[in-house]
Structure 1
């Protein structure tokens, strides 16, 4: 009978605490923990506020080397209006991170992985960093978690055990396209593209991307991008170098060089600083009789970047989002009609993607891609190029010039296998420019369907698209067909 009275008393005290209007809480040991949270004793708080403080306190302890900390109230006294109690906090055993143990078939340097995940030897254990492991691994195109991370506590140390499965993310591919010949009716023009992407170079997360594209006769484009995570213990930094070359028949040659350094704010967010050098060599005559408004320019700019990505799978996302933004400003020197002058120029870019799925095999993709360029003087050869497989399907590659544009994509995907799907899409564009010799705007759109399916050695893709604009009516005669094979290894 005695234990029943004790149990009844505890229930009555619990009821009193739950219904009390105010708690007056004292603490006699470990006051520094309470002060570290921004509070001072004695505390006069409501029950709801105390529950929030409890959660905040334990979370703080778990992320600062005390995963087994406990917190309770002792010596309760009072009534339904005011209850006085003593806070008893026990941090218990201090735990520090030890090494990372990696199992599986992913060739990766454990020191790089530890720095990337911020699981650093001899630093205080942090439950938050352990919880972020899955999201961070999902951002790597070449690795996948085969099972949930495990933490082994022994002798005041925490060993994080990971089982990683290799993803074939390195790729090389070529795409062949057949487009209507604009100079000769009833004939086709062959276009081509070659891509190479190598991930996890030297087992340290470095990557190299290179692609070459023959858009049409006498017009070519090349892009190179190198990414190097620095792997510093105290600063999760990476730097990138990019080179872009565009030759437009005999009119001009553009050269764009970018260097950026990025800092990881969280497991899914990065902020960066970039330096950009853009130079355009006008190869056509630049005199008053020139019909095409091209000009020789030299532009140096500085800017900021921001990235936020939270995808369930880097290569084949079913849910999540990705946002990339960039804003730059700088001075431009330009020459036309043998006159040299200066102009202030600003630019911005935005890429937003949202994935959602329903009935397991069905995925919806919504994408918005925008770009903005403004200066007192702009030439055609400075503008962005829109159109083609990677920007606005249903049109020739780089069909449109634009200083400001937005392309919205809605796409439905049906996955009949994990990495194979059918798709149908609609894309709406809003494009405009204002250059020295005129201005233009249009709202082209494209619609189409296609298939991507995985084979033993790579990915095969086929896209059929129709486009509609002021100078291209919707017609099967103007259909764009792109097919290619991506070899993955």
Structure 2
């Protein structure tokens, strides 16, 4: 019985690549009646490491089979110093092959994306044969048999064709063992196995392993020094990682200077304003991929906001994470807003997720301008409210470097639907007069009504030249409501975060859109010169207003990294629809970022 080995195992990370300045050469030796095999001339024969030479030999044999030499093989290969010498036996060239498959192999391959009826007992061309060969081997390797082989048995030649039985020799079965990181790193093996999709005891899969380098690049707090390898020990396949910690947490401090000369609002103080923003974004401090976020802002002398967020991934070993958020906002002496949120995230790779959430928004009026209410004989434009929303949020990004990207994109979409309740305020009810009844006005309002809040953001970074990039982004927000929207429910725009060149929270909006075009010259990993334009649309539709504006903000700045952190400086000036740019009111911001 003739028996010819057709393919060796296609394994992942089995060899050791020895990098050296020496050259490694492949020297194929053909029979004396060597033909001019032009189809192999593009295969390089000189490489920088021995493993690449061995792969080149396999590629050479495979190329023969693609061109009709189905019995091609590399015999008696051996290393002579830095040269791999191999005798190449092309065998006869055939135009077709008719193959049968073993019944046990057919059962094993059920459920794979292989149309076996197309191949079994049918004539196939050489290119189709090599396609089938690859599919069968990959199916076996991805089901726990990394050393699977294929060979043709019972060979018969007929005219320009070949008949035979295709046999799959699966070899020893392997299951995944524990993930092993070679160097100490601040991340648990349990988290890595869950994130990489490597379940201990599950069959070995080359497909899972091939995704590891990409998924590791998407983790913000570690980086890989080289590609993973696999150690086969007993019946276990142990994945070896070569990770090191990467700075992914940051602390920010931003000081803003807002000149008040020529203020358009006579009620505003003519004193210059200073704003302060402090933020800490802590990632993986406990080694389980968690995130803790704290932010405090002093936007005006009596206007502060505190934000707290926390994420914990892979609860109970499942690809789900828990999310909680809380914010407290004090707007002068007018009102206090409290937002609390609980969510469950379905986790994708990197920082990407799909979340469902419950959100509660409560506004409590503080000091009430009773004289204004009595004078106007109407309720104020902000009232005590409670909004309960259920929603969904999608976050996806693919950036080459999340802190100072040059290429890539990011998308965020958030939609919540719920009910709003207006709560009566006793201080306002106590203002009742013979000709003024706050209770009647309250009764005229819908006690409960539906409301939808939508926010979206998309950004694209396009590399330009050697060290530049252009960022284009669009941010949108809209409140759709059954009843009037009060001022304390609206979006707040303007300032260093959104719509630069204007005072912090200069605009209240029921609907808005801000398009940004920004050029960045990247000076270093965390340093850049930038110039930008923010082009906005703001629609202020509330219980007592109906205004629209098209503000524009222009500016420039620089960020530069030092041994103690990253410093930033920016200037911006804004223009509203009916007013031009006022260079006497340029907004200045100084920033400091510490990565750790």
What TM-score does the superposition give when structure 2 sets the normalisation length? 0.73
1:29 corresponds to: 104
Displacement of 1:170: 2.8
Q: Does the Cα contact within 8 Å between 1:445 and 1:469 map onto a contact in 2?
A: yes
1:192-240 CA-to-partner distances (Å, cap 9, x unmatched) read: 111122221322221211111111121111111111113543x211111
Q: Does the Cα contact within 8 Å between 1:34 and 1:40 map onto a contact in 2?
A: no
Displacement of 1:425: 1.3
- Secondary structure at the aligned position of 2:502 is classed as coil
1:107 corresponds to: 186
- Secondary structure at the aligned position of 1:293 is classed as coil
Q: Does the Cα contact within 8 Å between 1:268 and 1:310 map onto a contact in 2?
A: no
Which residue among 457, 461, 469 is the counterpart of 1:355?
461
Q: Does the Cα contact within 8 Å between 2:276 and 2:298 map onto a contact in 1?
A: yes
Q: Which stretch shows the higher mean deviation, 349-358 or 63-72?
A: 63-72
Displacement of 1:268: 7.0
2:536 is the alignment partner of 1:429: yes
Indicate how the Cα distance of structure 1 residues 379 and 185 shifts in structure 2: closer, same or farther if over 3 A, else same: closer
Distance 2:565 2:525 in 1: 14
1:446 corresponds to: 553
Distance 1:109 1:100 in 2: 10
2:512 corresponds to: 405
- Secondary structure at the aligned position of 1:454 is classed as strand
Specify which structure has the higher proportion of strand. 1
Q: Does the Cα contact within 8 Å between 1:384 and 1:401 map onto a contact in 2?
A: yes
Which residue among 321, 339, 358 is the counterpart of 1:275?
358
Indicate how the Cα distance of structure 1 residues 267 and 315 shifts in structure 2: closer, same or farther if over 3 A, else same: closer
1:257 corresponds to: 340
Distance 1:461 1:482 in 2: 8
2:56 corresponds to: none
2:434 is the alignment partner of 1:328: no
Displacement of 1:94: 2.0
2:256 is the alignment partner of 1:177: yes
Distance 1:244 1:76 in 2: 78
Q: Does the Cα contact within 8 Å between 1:366 and 1:409 map onto a contact in 2?
A: yes
**What is the CA RMSD across the aligned residues, in angstroms?**
3.3
Distance 2:491 2:128 in 1: 54
1:203 corresponds to: 287
Indicate how the Cα distance of structure 1 residues 441 and 100 shifts in structure 2: closer, same or farther if over 3 A, else same: same
1:322-355 CA-to-partner distances (Å, cap 9, x unmatched) read: 2222222112212464336111111222222222
Task: Give 5+ residue unaligned stretches, structure 1.
Answer: none
2:591 is the alignment partner of 1:484: yes
Q: Does the Cα contact within 8 Å between 1:461 and 1:485 map onto a contact in 2?
A: yes
Q: Which stretch shows the higher mean deviation, 174-183 or 215-224?
A: 174-183
Indicate how the Cα distance of structure 1 residues 347 and 97 shifts in structure 2: closer, same or farther if over 3 A, else same: same
Distance 1:76 1:179 in 2: 89
Distance 1:418 1:470 in 2: 38
Q: Does the Cα contact within 8 Å between 1:16 and 1:79 map onto a contact in 2?
A: no
- Which entry has the higher C-alpha Rg, 1 or 2? 2
- Secondary structure at the aligned position of 1:67 is classed as coil
Equivalent residues in 2 for 1:226-245 (5 A)?
226-233=310-317, 235-245=318-328
Q: Does the Cα contact within 8 Å between 1:138 and 1:311 map onto a contact in 2?
A: no
- Secondary structure at the aligned position of 1:389 is classed as coil
Indicate how the Cα distance of structure 1 residues 445 and 55 shifts in structure 2: closer, same or farther if over 3 A, else same: farther
Which residue among 199, 214, 235 is the counterpart of 1:135?
214
Task: Give 5+ residue unaligned stretches, structure 2.
Answer: 1-30, 36-63, 71-89, 425-440
Q: Does the Cα contact within 8 Å between 2:215 and 2:349 map onto a contact in 1?
A: no
Q: Does the Cα contact within 8 Å between 1:457 and 1:488 map onto a contact in 2?
A: no
Indicate how the Cα distance of structure 1 residues 55 and 313 shifts in structure 2: closer, same or farther if over 3 A, else same: farther
Indicate how the Cα distance of structure 1 residues 430 and 42 shifts in structure 2: closer, same or farther if over 3 A, else same: same
Displacement of 1:130: 2.4
Which residue among 342, 362, 384 is the counterpart of 1:296?
384
2:296 is the alignment partner of 1:219: no
1:255-291 CA-to-partner distances (Å, cap 9, x unmatched) read: 1111111112456752221111111223335966357
Distance 2:350 2:144 in 1: 20
Indicate how the Cα distance of structure 1 residues 62 and 472 shifts in structure 2: closer, same or farther if over 3 A, else same: farther
Distance 2:194 2:217 in 1: 16
Which residue among 376, 382, 395 is the counterpart of 1:307?
395
Q: Does the Cα contact within 8 Å between 2:552 and 2:576 map onto a contact in 1?
A: yes
Q: Does the Cα contact within 8 Å between 1:268 and 1:309 map onto a contact in 2?
A: yes
Displacement of 1:140: 3.1
Distance 2:412 2:348 in 1: 14
Equivalent residues in 2 for 1:34-53 (5 A)?
34-37=109-112, 41-43=116-118
Distance 2:549 2:135 in 1: 54
- Secondary structure at the aligned position of 2:537 is classed as strand
1:408-457 CA-to-partner distances (Å, cap 9, x unmatched) read: 22222212222211111122112213222232222212121111111112
